[in-house]
Structure 1
Amino acid sequence: MSTFDLLSNSMKKKVWDMKWERFTVIQEMTIPVVIQTDKDIVVSSGTASGKTEAVFLPVLSLVEKEARGKVKVLYISPLKALINNQFERIEKLCEYNQIEIHRWHGDVDHGQKKKFVKNPAGILQITPESIESLFVNRTEYIQSIFKDIEFIIIDEIHSFIDKGRGVQLRSLISRLEAYCNKRPRIIGLSATIDNFELVKKWVNYENPNQVEVLQTDEGDKELNYYLMHFPLDEENKKPVELYDDIRALTRNLKSIIFCNSRGGVEETTVFLNRLAKREGVGETYYPHHSSIDKKEREYVEKTIATATVPKSVIATSSLELGIDIGKIELVIQIDNTFTVSSLKQRLGRSGRESDKSQILQLYTTSMDSLIQSLAVMELVLEKWVEPSTGYGAPYDIMFHQILSLCHEFNGITLDDLLVSIKNNGSFHHIKAERIVMLIEHMLQYEYLELIPGENVFVVGLEGERLMRGKEFYPVFMTSEEYEVFDGARVIGMLDKGYPIAVDDNVILAGKLWTIVDIDENRNKIRVIKAVSAKPPRYLGGSGELHPRVAEKMMEILCSDKMFNYINDEGTLTLEDARKNNRLSGIGNQQRFFWIKRDEVLFESYTGTKIAKTLTLMFRSMGLESRVCDSVCRIQLKGVAFEQLKKVLEQLKNKEWFVDELLEYVKENEWFASKYSSMLPADLLIEMHIAHEMDVKGAIDFLKNKEFVVIDIEE
């Protein structure tokens, strides 16, 4: 029987309507597994390879007879905007079977939610936070909504696996399974994922062999790419020539321009629109990031998607996932992405039509950015991507879920609570004594309360304080922000973490504004239009460097390989960066220390966790040390040439233990998450070790590298 013949008549009719001549490779692989087996599935293929249809065509074929009166499919997405995009796509697939599709997230009208709760049916599209909200606020409807679910489809599953949000999601899935007539099948979709053994355990920890991985490179398009290096000017600003080049490239192409910061998005938007205006062209470049108001972002998405003349959107990772903004011809990345996965996800936004190639233009403005961009690009070409590692020691999310469980059951005994946690896909591996330690701590600090005589745990006073309001549902940290108004219109948000004053000029949503009023009590700022402004600053980190990316950077620095996809300025900068290595005869398995008086710079070229662990080792040897930049250079103070050589020898030969290094962690260096400060000290230490340290990796690094000490004043 052909793949097409496996589908229901309504789905066959839909395929005919779409005038498909054939299924894609991933569709040929996926449809039979969905229909002919009862396995969980992970579908991994390139962007625009047809993953959504690969899953929904067979799923709809299986559930369409019952889905008109029951919820049969739960579609989980990391983004509300992605839900809105996929709604229309899935709705078209359901044209001939009358299956209803319902959206449930913070922006959906209360009346629509109420209507769905009364008559749950079809497909429910939802975010993890909204599932949490259902458990907290509509507990009485949980069973009627979830009892008949057969499929849980998780879009962009890679965006969950390594994060606390993924721990929350897996916990919520385990909890809702208890209300289902039978365990639903889980199907995960991703274009950038690795370490499938871990992913299989995440999907089905009880029986990972029941998870089928379907993977193909078919969606990987022909890639045209180039890198232009434009060094920062004397004032540390991006040169005008860089913007001129972007303007020339995007003048006739519909593009996404990715920046690594929200402030960078704002600055780039204003500068490029100035260039367009000089040519007599109207607004051409539109900003998109998480601190721009939702309505403004939706306007930008619609404008770009429907544009009939070349327009470009300038974005952070807010457009990295598959939000539909139409056919993008060109992807631009300004300075390096922090991960290979991120670059691969971004370049996948172009060339989505079957006969089009992907076009990627990279720009760099510093030597480090150039080397890291080359390393990431080379790893993309090698088809390597950071492997999933999971979220270690998830006590902070367990704290959150214990509160949610106690609320869900309106009180729960210790035995039942322990069973719920031990049967949970996120926490099954945690020892009972650690769970009890956390529960006792929560009792002590009134996050939980024990009802006398009944031995039932309920949410305590401090727990109630945490659970009030929308901030309880997401488990990720957010910074305190001001809401910014132009008259009655909300423009976006500004971080409270940086000083802001009346009469300051700022850029927000791609426009120039003067602050006229700051209401500290209500967290509101009022602005009027300005003629000049500086980009706002936002809190945020640089991301974690994977050891393989760092190793690739060192390989590039130690090789003579010429890259035919970089401009002359980039080639000269690369050759300049290689000079020190050549003069010192350093190879890619060597690392060097530069000594100037009593200050040392260690070019570690290793991963973030290993570098942080090395700093603790140096401190234990009596040296002042810190990781001083995003490529993990380590600064050492108070050490001379001969002493450093002795220290290095001791570092290599010493037997290292995690516990002895912990006393050298500084107060501001401890692992921090939304709920980490509410944990007992022992559990916080475990989380810090899991997230911030890699003793084994550091020991291997010390044993396998040769260290060269160079006194640059000799």
Structure 2
Amino acid sequence: MNELSPVLVHHIVNTLGWRSLRPLQQEAVAPVMAGSDALLLAPTAGGKTEAAVFPLLSAMERGRWSGLSVLYVCPLKALLNNLLPRLEGYCGWVGRRVALWHGDVTSARRRAMLRDPPDVLLTTPESLEAMLVSVNVDHTRLFAGLRAVVVDEVHAFAGDDRGWHLLAVLERLSRVAGRPIQRVGLSATVGNPGELLEWLQGSGRGSRPAAVVAPALTASAASPPGEIELDYVGSVANAATIIAALHRGEKRLVFCDSRQLVEELGAALRARGVTTFLSHASLAVDERRRAEEAFASGRDCVIVSTSTLELGIDVGDLDRVIQINAPGTVAAFLQRLGRTGRRPGSARNCLFLALDLDSLVSAAALLLLWSRGHVEPVTAPPEPRHIVAQQVLGLSLQDHKIGSGLWGDAWNGLAPFDRSAAPIVAHLLEEGFLERDGEFLFVGPAAEARFGRRHFMDMTAVFTAPPEFTVLYGRQEIGRTDPMLLTEKLDGPRVLLLAGRNWKVTWIDWKRRRCFVEPSDLRGRARWFSPALTGASFDFTRACREVLLGADPPVALTRRAVTHLAEARENAPATVHPGGTVIRRDGTDTRWWTWAGFRANAVLAATLGGLTDEVQRVDDTWVRLRSDLTPQLWRSGTADAADRLTLPDVDERALRGLKFSEALPRRLAIGALAARLSDLTGAGQVLREPVRIDIDQ
């Protein structure tokens, strides 16, 4: 700790009562204080925040940084709210101030920050974009002293378009500040930490010093795996019964894969007399906060959550984690598992409760991958051309007008925001999103009509939020619901299930998207629209195939789990074979059981157009083939297929889910979606494997 500020060390020892730093925190001091870009890896609650903040506060003191010097960026507002009290304490020790800026912060508080900026600002990428484009923010003055940014849960950003948005905004901020900005990423376990750090560096990769710091991962790999158990329960009601009966007197966190399941399980637990709290994205902020605070201070209780509590929000000292069905990735499981085993003498634990056979196989497959040390690599979505369009429009708002020959410099040469985006700029001009005045470009009428509402706030977020109605009981906001529940025909009263309680709809304000309710004893319904997903990965689907062929994960399996896995395997011989993939005909339905994942199957369907069914459908496990397929047709049609792989066709309706796609040339928008729906590597591997053809001639 000698390198840190003496005042900081004094408080670490005397206020926190720490005799020493954790290995991650100690090893992070030198590279972070030296100004290197860094990726700090540790399991949940591994001390990553302190590993970044302590050396940055020390560098702030040593370098006499003034004004807003450090940004702390999180993917969730709830995470920022949770971090604020802790960082206020750390900054206060050395006479520095921290503040919060996101969509829920009042205008008066923001104006006060602009008059007297803090030293550290907690915020989101969307709020940074809003600051850069706002006419009320002098961003040149505000960010003049910016030196470093901490990106918490960086893996959550890097895996989707918010990551590209964040990188582009950081490049613009470095131009405003007039210097490179040190980047420190905090992450749980990922399969490709070196690549993730290079991605985070943006235009500085290869030219700036960088370090991956991950001592805790080596230690955790050598530690006991914990208490992992897989059970089959068959229904939500049975899951609630088991949760109510097991581990009474303990604090239990239950993860579900949908908001609807959270609501249904929460209501079932309350009906069994269990003190239950709920957390998901469609609950009101105050409702979630009350639930999380009550859960954090309680003991004999359960909180049921979607992935919102997978990240680093503090809900106190947990006894148990329970997983309904299976998360989509090993990385998500590791995040959830890391919620437990924090007390001395306690072990990490997770109980899986599968609601059906498919979920049982998926859970077993995920645990099989986990037992082998597999963790998915985090990769940025390819072809973020729609984010390029958004950024060019954002830059034109930020600077009011941009040089027609100089706009490409704003992102310091970071592809694809560099001069290679010229066709996108040309399209923006052609369609009226931009206008030209001599050598300058500025926002045009099409952009104002499409994105200009609420001072262009719709342009600061790169994700599309589904339309939802706010549900109100008097003046109290309960949460939000899908409009489909308010429009479908039914007999009798309309009753919603929200926040684990039943609410009868009394009035709907269609214009303002508000729904007024009162408590009800009738049984309500919960449902939300979910955007189309791109299915399971190649590795995950192949692990499911292994489970059906007899592989068991090295965890505790209940008698019910063993019995129902045997049932799944008895039904599987027609679709899996140890000697290769299977083509099987059932009546006129001919399917190729590839077990390759959705993206690889989409490529296979496009590549084998002459062999596939005209009305093509694919899923994670199979591709439908033409009903008159013969072995001869198959061999001739696939002879060179691995060398001519084709990107899948894209449904025009899918473009609606790609925000800013209307600001792109149609071919680029379709190309971006096609690239994101593809797994060329997986498709090529499947085409090179043996195939067993089980069809009648």
Q: TM-score range by the shorter chain?
A: over 0.9
For 1:495, give the aligned amino acid.
Answer: D
Conserved 8 A contact 1:495-1:537: yes
The equivalent residue for 2:17 is 19
Amino acid at match of 1:639: S
1:684 counterpart = 2:669: yes
1:410 aligns with 2:400: yes
- Measured in 2, the distance between the counterparts of 1:520 and 1:584 equals 49
> What's 1:475 paired with?
462
Change (3 A) 1:611 1:355: same
2:607 and 2:645 in contact (8 A); partners too: no
Tell me the residue number matched to 2:312: 322
Q: Aligned in 2, Cα 1:210/1:598: closer, same or farther, shift over 3 Å?
A: same
The answer for the alignment partner of 1:225 in structure 2 is 228
Structure 2 residue 546 is matched with structure 1 residue 555: yes
Alpha-carbon distance in structure 2 between the residues aligned to 1:543 and 1:337: 15
Residue 333 of structure 1 corresponds to 323
CA distance 1:447–1:674, change in 2 (3 Å)? same
Give the Cα separation in 1 of the matches to 2:551 and 2:416: 49
Shift of 1:343: 1.4
Q: Residue in 2 aligned with 1:234? A: none
Match of 1:462 among 429, 433, 446: 446
Cα distance in structure 2, aligned partners of 1:672 and 1:585: 34
Give 1:374's match in structure 2, choosing from 343, 364, 373.
Answer: 364
- 2:429 pairs with one of 443, 458, 461: 443
1:614 corresponding residue in structure 2? 604
The code of the aligned residue for 2:166 comes to L
Match of 1:235 in 2: none
Distance in 2, Cα, partners of 1:151 & 1:334: 40
Q: Distance in 1 between matches of 2:469 and 2:25?
A: 46
SS at match of 2:426: helix
Q: Kindly provide the CA deviation profile for residues 651-693 of structure 1, in whole angstroms up to 9, marking residues without a partner as x.
A: 243365466x65x544445684112233112211320232012
Change (3 A) 1:604 1:16: same
Query: Please, which of 582, 601, 624 is the counterpart of residue 636 of structure 1?
Result: 624
Correspondences of 1:100-111 after superposition (within 5 Å): 100-111=97-108
Cα distance in structure 2, aligned partners of 1:334 and 1:243? 10
What SS does the aligned partner of 1:602 have? Answer: strand
- 241-250 or 42-51: bigger deviation: 241-250
Residue by residue over 1:115-152, the C-alpha shift from the partner in whole angstroms, topping out at 9 and shown as x without a partner, is 11112231111110100110111575212221212221
CA contact (8 A) 2:175 2:410 kept: no
CA contact (8 A) 1:258 1:317 kept: yes
Counterpart amino acid of residue 82 in structure 1: L
Contact 2:592 2:625 in 1 (8 A): no
Q: 1:603 aligns with which of 568, 575, 593?
A: 593
Confirm or deny: 8 A CA contact 1:512 1:533 kept in the other structure.
yes
Matched, 1:30 2:28: yes
* 8 Å contact kept, 2:255–2:305: yes
Q: Does 1:94 align with 2:76?
A: no
**1:174 Cα offset (Å):** 0.3
Give the match for residue 494 of structure 1. Answer: 481
Offset, 1:257: 0.7
Residues 115-124 or 617-626, more deviating: 617-626
The separation in 1 between residues aligned to 2:363 and 2:612, in whole angstroms, is 36
Checking the alignment, whether the CA contact within 8 Å between 2:133 and 2:398 is kept in structure 1 is yes
1:414-456 deviations in Å (ceiling 9; x for gaps): 11112225x253535x6x3x522111211222111112xx231
**In 2, Cα distance between equivalents of 1:585 and 1:185:** 50
Root-mean-square deviation (Å): 2.5
Using the TM superposition, give the Cα deviation of residue 584 of structure 1 relative to its aligned residue in structure 2, in angstroms.
Answer: 8.8
1:674 is the counterpart of 2:659: yes
Alignment match, 2:381 = 391
- Give the alignment of 1:37-56 within 5 angstroms: 37-56=34-53
1:579: how far off? 3.3
Take 1:8 and 1:171, find their aligned partners in 2: how far apart are those partners? 33
CA 1:584–1:55: 2 relative to 1, 3 Å: closer
Q: Structure 2: which amino acid aligns with 1:372?
A: S
User: Map of 1:176-575 to 2, 5 A cutoff?
Assistant: 176-204=173-201, 205-208=203-206, 210-216=209-215, 217=217, 218=219, 222=224, 223-231=226-234, 238=235, 240-276=237-273, 284-307=275-298, 309-421=299-411, 423-425=412-414, 427-428=416-417, 432=419, 434-451=420-437, 454-465=438-449, 466-469=451-454, 470-497=457-484, 499-500=487-488, 503-540=493-530, 541-542=532-533, 544-559=535-550, 561=552, 563=554, 565-575=556-566
In the alignment, the residues of structure 1 paired with residue 210 and residue 271 of structure 2 have an alpha-carbon distance, to the nearest angstrom, of 53
Cα displacement string for residues 583-633 of structure 1 (whole angstroms, at most 9, x for unaligned residues):
89921x61223321111343321122101112223444352354555xx13
The residue type equivalent to 1:210 in the other structure is: P
Which residue type is aligned with residue 678 of structure 1?
A: A
Q: What residue is the counterpart of 1:653 in the other structure?
A: 640
CA displacement 1:547-577 (0-9 Å, x = unmatched):
1112222222223547551111211222233
1:518 is paired with a residue whose SS is: strand
Deviation for aligned residue 1:375? 1.4
Verify the 8 A CA contact 1:67 1:122 in the aligned structure 2: no
Cα distance in 2 between the residues matched to 1:530 and 1:147:
55
Q: Decide whether the 8 Å contact of 1:174 with 1:424 is kept in 2.
A: no
Alignment coverage as a number of residue pairs? 683
Quick one: distance in 2 between partners of 1:564 and 1:97?
48
CA pair 28-298 structure 1, distance change in 2 beyond 3 A? same
Q: Which amino acid is 2:667 matched to? A: D
**Alignment CA distance shift 1:138-1:98 (3 Å):** farther
CA distance in structure 1 between the aligned counterparts of 2:627 and 2:2, rounded to whole angstroms: 74
3-state secondary structure, aligned to 1:267: helix
> 3-state DSSP class of the match of 1:700?
helix
Aligned counterparts of 2:20 and 2:86: Cα–Cα separation in 1: 19
Are the aligned partners of 1:305 and 1:326 in contact in 2 as well (CA < 8 Å)? yes
Deviation at 1:180, TM superposition (A): 1.8
User: Are the counterparts in 1 of residues 256 and 305 from structure 2 also a CA contact under 8 Å?
Assistant: yes
With 39-48 and 613-622 compared, the bigger mean Cα shift is at 613-622
What is the distance in 2 between the residues matched to 1:62 and 1:206?
A: 21
In the alignment, the residues of structure 2 paired with residue 136 and residue 58 of structure 1 have an alpha-carbon distance, to the nearest angstrom, of: 31
Structure 1, 247-256 or 218-227: larger mean CA deviation: 218-227
1:289 touches 1:316 (CA, 8 Å); kept in 2? yes
Identity across aligned pairs (percent)? 25
What is the TM-score normalised by the length of structure 1?
A: 0.90
Which residue type is aligned with residue 482 of structure 2? D
TM-score, structure 2 as length reference: 0.92
Change (3 A) 1:101 1:239: closer
C-alpha distance in 2 between matches for 1:506 and 1:121: 43
> What amino acid is aligned across from residue 25 of structure 2 in structure 1?
Q
Secondary structure of 1:256's aligned partner: strand
Cα separation, 2, equivalents of 1:592 and 1:300: 49
Give the AA of the match of 1:455.
Answer: E
Counterpart of 1:225 in 2: which secondary structure? strand
Letter in 2 for 1:298: R
Aligned: 1:119 with 2:119: no
Matched to 1:474, the amino acid is: A
Letter in 1 for 2:195: L
Of residues 678, 689, 697, the one that matches 2:682 is: 697
